[in-house]
Structure 1
């Protein structure tokens, strides 16, 4: 059995910013592409997500998290996966559609 007294305490400082996020309660499909959608639909979805991110009080914390965690999918902190990986020279793996 695990000795819970030896486990680290809650890490609210690492994720507490999410409580103030403008996207809290929003439809996750806005930030993560449904499989099989057109390129136009993807661009429209990303633009809508970025508009919400632009008004978010924790945009920079969200972006920092996504970069540090190397989030492979979705819009985080106003950046798409392609934008987040632009300086690394590595492209995120894409899901196959269709």
Structure 2
């Protein structure tokens, strides 16, 4: 389609593979907000992940459990709290 961005032509499976390479949960959360296709690809990428870090994120139990239900290949989960930095 003319005027369509190249990345919009990628199939969801390929986007999901790309999103598996993103280690920052912040970046994944932002990517899932781009459009429905990216949200679906981020969800698929969660199913392919062996490790995931929520360190420093404040999430409610419902949000966390929804994400973890999609992460069926998960072997390592970091839910640690980052220390406060004093300057």
Question: What TM-score, normalized to structure 1?
Answer: 0.30
Question: What TM-score, normalized to structure 2?
Answer: 0.32
Larger Rg: 1
